[in-house]
Structure 1
Amino acid sequence: MARQKMDWLGDRQTVLAQNIANADTPNYRAKDLRQLSFERELRDIQPVRMQATSGTHLQGTVRKPDIRVEELRARDVYETNPNENGIALEEQMMKVSDTQMNYQLASNIYHKNMMMLRTAIGQTGR
C-alpha cells in the first residue's frame, strides 16, 4: 500500500505541475487525481494463489491501482487571472507541498517496513 500511495502521489505531482504550467492558458481547467481509497484497495486485493512454473517462481497480486484524472469543477475563487481559467497558483502550490509531505511519509513507512523484513530474516545493516 505504501508503494501504491507513492505511485499515486508521483502521478498527482505530475498533474499539479501541468496545472501550474497551464496557469496562463485561456480556459484551462485545473485537474486533480481521484483520491486513493484504502478501503477500496483492500477490497480489490486478490488472494495469492501459488502457481509455479518452476520450484522458484511464484505469481503475486501486484497491480496498478485505478487512478483517473478528474477535471475540477468551476467554483468561486477569490482571484481570477486575465485568462479566466480560475487557477489559483497558491492553491496549486499548497497541493504540491501536501503531496510532497505525503510522499515523504509513505517513503518512510516503506523504508521501515523493509527494515523490519530484513530484521526478520536475519539481515542487519542497511
Structure 2
Amino acid sequence: MSVAGLPLIEKLKTRMHWHQTRQKVIAENVANADTPGFKPRDVAEPQLDARGRPVGGNLQVARTAPGHLALDQARPGMSERNAARFEVRPNGNAVNLEEEMLRSAQNQSDYQLAASLYEKSLSMLRIATGRR
C-alpha cells in the first residue's frame, strides 16, 4: 500500500490544496478592491468521505447568457459572498480589505497547521517502517 492511499494523508493533501486555492481567491479579492462592481468570492470547504476523497464530484457550469463568465474562467466550489449593505461602495464594489487580510492570515495559519501535520505523519510512518 502506498503512502498516498492512506486516508489521513489524503485528507491533509486535500486540505492543503483547498488552502492554496483559497489564498489565490483572497488575493484576487484584494487585487480587485478598486474594481467597480466587483463582488468578493470565497471557496467552499471541501466535504470529504470516510476515505478522504472529495464528495460531490465535478460541478458543471452552464453559460446561459453572453454576459456570463466563460467556462474556463468559472471555478467549481466558488461563490460570491453576500456583503452587508453598508459595505458596498457607490461603485458597486463590496471588497472589505480588513476582512480579506484577516481571512488571509487565518488561511495561512491553517495551511501551516495542515502542512505540519502532514510532515509529522510522514515522519511517523518513516519511523514505523524503520526508514528514519
Instruction: Give TM-score, length-normalised by structure 1.
Output: 0.72
- Displacement of 1:85: 1.0
Equivalences for 1:32-111 in 2 at 5 Å? 32-37=42-47, 41-43=48-50, 45=51, 68-77=77-86, 79-81=87-89, 83-111=91-119
How many equivalent residue pairs?
Answer: 104
Q: Percent identity?
A: 35
Structure 1: where are the runs of 5+ without partners? Answer: 47-60
Structure-1 residue corresponding to 2:8 = none
Instruction: Give TM-score, length-normalised by structure 2.
Output: 0.69
Structure-1 residue corresponding to 2:15 = 5
Structure 1 runs, 4 residues or longer, greater than 6 Å off? none
Higher alpha-carbon Rg = 1
CA RMSD of aligned residues (A): 2.5
Structure 2 distance, partners of 1:115, 1:89, is 39
Structure 2: where are the runs of 5+ without partners? Answer: 1-10, 59-75
